[in-house]
Amino acid sequence: MKKRMTEGDVLGSFPVFLLLVWKHLRLPKPTKVQYSLARFLADGPRRRGIQGYRGVGKSWITAAYALWRLLKNPDEHILVVSASKQRADDFSSFCLRLIHEMPLLESLKPGPTQRSSLVAFDVGGATVSQSPSLTSKGISSQITGNRATLIIFDDVEVPNNSATYEARQKLTARVAESEAILTPGGDIVILGTFQSSESIYLGLIEGGAYEFRFYPVRYPAAEDVYTVYRGLLDPDITEALRARPELAGKPTDPT
């Protein structure tokens, strides 16, 4: 007999919540890599970064993570920042649509006196605040003035804003500004894909303030684990490669 899932199971485990979101979206069960990424999102350090190949589902998983945080604590204030305002708005509108569609999230529906736009909304149960429960911004827009318990940088580095040294310095400064609006004990999550060998993400890694986790599309050669990937590969990928070196070059997530 299958054990019935309880509210405690959902609130106590982000992977469990992610499975329910995937079911609602009529997607297959999350893959091993997606579950590993989800665990790092939920249990990683306060400054964490995810470098994953396009298609692994970084943004969708992180949107589910934002909703899980709000379900656990409606007084969270989440700021989503992307290279373009449109991409950030897509993130927030996806979250709001799930709130309106998923019975599990019914308690988060904005009330009649709360903000409820696609780009800045409050959730049910939230106390009155100048900062929305979730809001979206472009990296070049004004982000100071908000307060946030969780800041998500979703692909802020793109070819157009990182082609020159000056552009990368400016972009790095914009990311650093986030510290001024983060509440004490708050989290910063960075999602991205390297655009060049001089990516701003490398600077964040070398600075030591952020812990990054790499999810490559293929298992790397053993000699690249601590050179190219600096020992920051997903532990499950590293362990699988250690046990079976012949996996090098094969997909990390065949499904």
For 80-120, write each residue's pLDDT tens digit: 999 999 999 999 999 999 999 999 999 999 999 999 999 99
CB 213 within 8 A of CB 48: yes
Select the more confidently predicted residue: 196 or 252: 252
Q: Please give the share of the chain, as a percent, with pLDDT higher than 70.
A: 97
Sequence-ordered list of residues with C-beta below 8 angstroms from that of 19, at least 6 positions apart, any chain: 29, 30
Residue located via tokens 């070398």: 206
Question: How high is the pLDDT of residue 107?
Answer: 95
Select the more confidently predicted residue: 123 or 177: 123
Rg (CA), the chain: 19
Question: How high is the pLDDT of residue 192?
Answer: 86
Tell me which residue of 206, 207, 199 sits closest to 169, measured CA to CA: 199
Give pLDDT tens digits for 23-77: 999 999 999 999 999 999 999 999 999 998 888 999 999 999 999 999 999 999 9
Question: How high is the pLDDT of residue 95?
Answer: 97
- Confidence band (pLDDT; 50, 70, 90) for 1? very low
CB 56 within 8 A of CB 253: yes
Tell me which residue of 140, 212, 146, 141 sits closest to 182, measured CA to CA: 146
Question: How high is the pLDDT of residue 7?
Answer: 65
Question: How high is the pLDDT of residue 252?
Answer: 93
Tell whether the torsion through CA atoms of 244, 245, 247 and 253 is positive or negative.
positive
- Confidence band (pLDDT; 50, 70, 90) for 20? very high
Q: In the predicted model, what is the mean pLDDT of residues 144-172?
A: 89
- Confidence band (pLDDT; 50, 70, 90) for 13? very high
Beta strands in the chain (DSSP E): 47-52, 78-82, 120-121, 134-138, 148-154, 182-192, 211-215
pTM of the model: 0.93
User: For 104-112, which contacts have Cβ atoms below 8 Å and span 24 or more sequence positions?
Assistant: 104/10, 104/20, 104/71, 105/67, 105/71, 107/71, 107/74, 108/67, 108/70, 108/71, 108/74
SS3 34: helix
Partners of residue 48 on adjacent β-strands: 189, 211
Give pLDDT tens digits for 188-236: 999 988 777 788 888 888 888 899 999 999 999 988 988 888 889 999 9
Q: In the predicted model, what is the mean pLDDT of residues 165-175?
A: 90
Question: How high is the pLDDT of residue 213?
Answer: 95
Q: Chain centroid to CA 146: how far?
A: 19
Is 2's pLDDT higher than 70? no
* 7-11, 78-82, 140-144, 167-171: least confident range: 7-11
Question: How high is the pLDDT of residue 193?
Answer: 81
